[in-house]
Amino acid sequence: MTLLFLKSILAPHRGRLMLLMAILLLESVITLSIPWVGGRLGGYFFGEGQQMGPVLLTVAILGLLAAGSVLRMVSNWLSGRTSETILAELRSQVFAQLQALPILWHQGEKRGSAIALISWDLVRLSDFATVTLVQLLPLLVTAGGACVMMLAIDPTLALLVPVLVPAFFILQKLIGRRLRGLGTRIQKQNAEVVAGTEEMLDLLPVIKSFHAERIEQARFDAEVSKLKDLTLKETRLYAFIDPAIQFVVSAATVVLLVLAGQSLRTGQLSASEAVSFLMYVALLVRPVSQLASVYGRVQTARGTLERLQDVMRETPENLEYSAEALQTAGEIAFDHVAFSYPGRTPALRKLTFRIGAGEIVALTGANGAGKSTAVGLLLGLYQPDSGRIILDGRDIADMELGALRRAIGYVPQSRYLRNATVRENIAFGMPDAPMEAIVKAARIAQAHDFVSALPEGYETIVGDKGVKLSGGQQQRISLARALLKNPPILILDEATSMYDLEGEAEFVAECRAALAGRTVILITHRPASLEIADRILVLENGTIRSDAVLKGMQT
């Protein structure tokens, strides 16, 4: 299964990888030619007659070395280019998959794991594909070719070479499995370190206010220490396997050197044959040593592949890009909707209510009553366990999810501004929106005046998570962002939570124009927000406790 998955990843790059392998194979053939020519040159200096003189033989060797160097430069460039191309495409695919996966999947995973996968694990995987995997066949050709040439020169001496093989496979068995297990554990622990860093940055104001820097430092240092210990274990294994193979190969080389010298002395080998044989023995050292480390790197790559495969085979949302919003009057109905988060008690219990087109309805209730969950279901972030959510008489489960979401403007309690300009934040999701539309949305959200007073106006960078703006300014930018697409349905999730009573009343008064003609859901318990509602739905334990009609309206 893992091998098939790797094949599917590399399939788009098959041509470039095959070209890289062909270059490396050609380099191997050239490398195998050098000992034969070198033997002829050595034989000349031992007094053996040769068809080519020393000058031509030297030129031939230098030519082969130059050709090998050129091919190596080309292969290094092509390998690096291919590796970066594979890495870029994998990162793009993983990023797209992470965006497409349901919110519930992300709530069950640590963000550090996904970040580590994109930032670190995929680098190792692309390097494995373009270095370890592609070089495997050329290394085998070089090692096999050297053995064949040695057999042709002196079968008796060459038969001592298989002594290397048992040692090679024994070391593979002893260390390969441990490397694979360590690789998986290192990936998980690296994710913990990344997650800890991200969490610290998110909670930094809280950490400072509680003077908890030392506590957080100790917690982080403990995670880093675990990662260091695991990495050192992996380093020790690699530090052992390479010298161990090198020792076995070098010891065999010494033995072969002595035996070849003895054969030369007794006349069983000519001088040119002895020089060529010893050069092939020396040539054999590098590929055998590299092959010894391949198995460990394969095991490490398997861990990364399994983690990547786990992410990529998760079922994404059925989200197709929709340029146009769903045409809707905005009549919403929840029909006996039930929903539970995995491993938790039901969040909604046969929730039933109706919101008329153009109606402003406040959802209120204690924390955990199910308000935000109901909105999440309307946005298609979750799927009901049972029941239906109906929009203009149609079940939203039968609608195209992208079109549904473009018909809904959502202002979350957390402002979620990115480190970009005011203009880019308002145009989030609609980067091609004309400036006139952006300004219009900002005016309706009562944001235009303070934006115009900023140093660079709409081109002012707001800072990470909007830190350069006040809470009220961030909220108005969030509202303008939702209004830019002119949605028929607008959801305000605790949109006035950062205001005092006076500020809340002012914000609500200013927002009346933005709410006009839309179906509006206000998740709130603040008095000023409740005053503009046509109805108040009170949720308790995932169901409607009361439905109060204001302004003389009838249910």
Calpha distance 43→275 (Å, rounded): 8
Structural domains present in the chain? 2-312 (1.20.1560.10), 332-549 (3.40.50.300)
Tokens linked to 283: 């040539």
What is the pLDDT, as a whole number, of residue 163? 63
Residue type, 367: N
| Number of C-beta neighbours around residue 149 at 10 A | 21
CB 304 within 8 A of CB 187: yes
| Whole-structure pTM value | 0.76
Q: Which DSSP string do the residues of 179-239 spell out, in sequence order?
A: HHHHHHHHHHHHHHHHHHHHHHHHTHHHHHHTT-HHHHHHHHHHHHHHHHHHHHHHHHHHH
What is the pLDDT, as a whole number, of residue 169? 60
Those residues with Cβ within 8 angstroms of residue 301's Cβ, 6 or more apart along the chain or in another chain: 124, 125, 128, 132, 183
What is the pLDDT, as a whole number, of residue 69? 92
Tell me which residues of the chain have a pLDDT lower than 50.
Answer: 552-555
Burial 510-523 (b: 16+ CB within 10 A, else e): ebeebbeebbbbbb
What is the pLDDT, as a whole number, of residue 553? 41
What is the pLDDT, as a whole number, of residue 504? 67
What is the pLDDT, as a whole number, of residue 545? 87
CB 299 within 8 A of CB 237: no
Orientation angle between helical segments 271-312 and 2-10, nearest 10 degrees: 100
Residue type, 520: V
